[in-house]
């Protein structure tokens, strides 16, 4: 996938669905539910058993309709596994200089995790595509707004504790994207095969995002 195609899909709806710890046989129907709901970005965390194979399965199921990325990339070995599997972008929980550097060299979009003003700046200055504000709920929308004051040019992806009740507040604070795990993929709903519920949750988040862009 080219960076142009990545950008087109990513910014169409900059909400990243986070899959962590699901079974291999659940990946394809999850991807189909995401497509039904309009989600264009998925992240499979590399601390999931068989993560590389799940990335391959998701890419095949998505058939170019969804960016499939890798999250919780905390080592060069994990990075290599993710890239070999075909991950379109890389997300880390913290600033890991070697991974950022390698992604820049390989021209792979990289979204490192950061929290403090110093970390947010360091991640962006190192060449981040955008910066994952994590854990976002520890500061909330008001903290994100404070960060945007000196750093209006830094694109932030709020991750951790974001919900239907707070997404609009984050958007008003200037946040550009979101990482969403359990709000979209509750384990009991996935285990029950309630794919319609997942698609509906995606639609509800998408409607808030779209409404904000047009008001």
Which pLDDT tens digit goes with each residue over 130-150? Answer: 999 999 999 999 999 999 999
Please give the pLDDT value at position 2. Answer: 60
CA-CA distance, 12 to 28, in Å (whole number)? 22
Which residue is listed with tokens 């899959």? 19
Contact 56, 27 (CB under 8 A): no
Three-state DSSP state, 183: coil
Closest CA to 133 of 59, 124, 125, 58: 124
Closest CA to 53 of 68, 39, 65: 68
For residue 4, name the pLDDT band (cuts at 50, 70, 90): confident
Three-state DSSP state, 94: coil
Q: What is the pLDDT of residues 31-79, one digit of tens each?
A: 999 999 999 999 999 999 999 999 999 999 999 999 999 999 999 999 9
pLDDT at residue 1 above 80?
A: no
For residue 5, name the pLDDT band (cuts at 50, 70, 90): confident
| pTM of the predicted model as reported, rounded to 2 decimal places | 0.96
Give the whole-number percent of the chain exceeding pLDDT 90.
Answer: 95
Q: How far apart are the first and last CA of the chain?
A: 33
Across the range 88-101, mean pLDDT stands at 98
Whether 43 sits among the annotated catalytic residues: the reply is: yes
Average pLDDT taken over every residue of the chain: 96
Q: ∠ CA 118-119-120 to the nearest 5 degrees?
A: 95
**Number of neighbours of residue 200 by Cβ within 10 angstroms:** 15
Catalytic residue selected from 28, 32, 43, 153:
43
Catalytic residue selected from 60, 132, 145, 153:
132
Residue 71 phi/psi, 5° resolution?
-115, 175
Whether 107 sits among the annotated catalytic residues: the reply is: no
pLDDT at residue 151 above 60?
A: yes
pLDDT at residue 215 above 60?
A: yes
Residue 3 CA: distances (Å) to CA of 40, 69, 129: 14, 13, 11
Please give the pLDDT value at position 108. Answer: 97
Residue 202 phi/psi, 5° resolution?
-60, -45
Domains of the chain and any CATH numbers: 3-210 (3.20.20.70)
Contacts of 96 (CB under 8 A, 6+ apart): 73, 74, 112
């Amino acid at each position: 996938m080219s960076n142009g195609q990545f950008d087109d899909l990513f910014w169409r709806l900059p909400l990243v669905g986070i899959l962590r710890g699901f079974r291999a046989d659940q990946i394809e129907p999850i991807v189909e539910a995401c497509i039904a709901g309009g989600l264009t970005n998925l992240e499979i965390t590399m601390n999931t058993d068989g993560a590389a194979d799940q990335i391959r399965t998701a890419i095949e199921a998505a058939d170019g309709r969804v960016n499939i990325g890798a999250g919780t990339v905390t080592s060069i070995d994990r990075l290599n596994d993710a890239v070999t599997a075909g991950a379109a972008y890389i997300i880390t929980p913290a600033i890991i200089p070697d991974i950022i550097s390698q992604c820049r060299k390989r021209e792979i979009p990289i979204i490192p995790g950061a929290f403090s003003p110093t970390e947010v700046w360091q991640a962006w200055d190192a060449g981040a595509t955008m910066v994952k504000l994590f854990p976002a709920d520890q500061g909330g929308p008001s903290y994100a707004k404070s960060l945007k004051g000196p750093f209006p040019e830094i694109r932030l992806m709020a991750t951790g504790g974001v919900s239907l009740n707070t997404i609009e507040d984050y958007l008003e604070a200037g946040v550009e994207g979101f990482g969403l795990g359990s709000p979209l993929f509750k384990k009991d709903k996935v285990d029950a095969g309630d794919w319609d519920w997942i698609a509906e949750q995606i639609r509800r988040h998408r409607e808030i995002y779209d409404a904000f862009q047009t008001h």
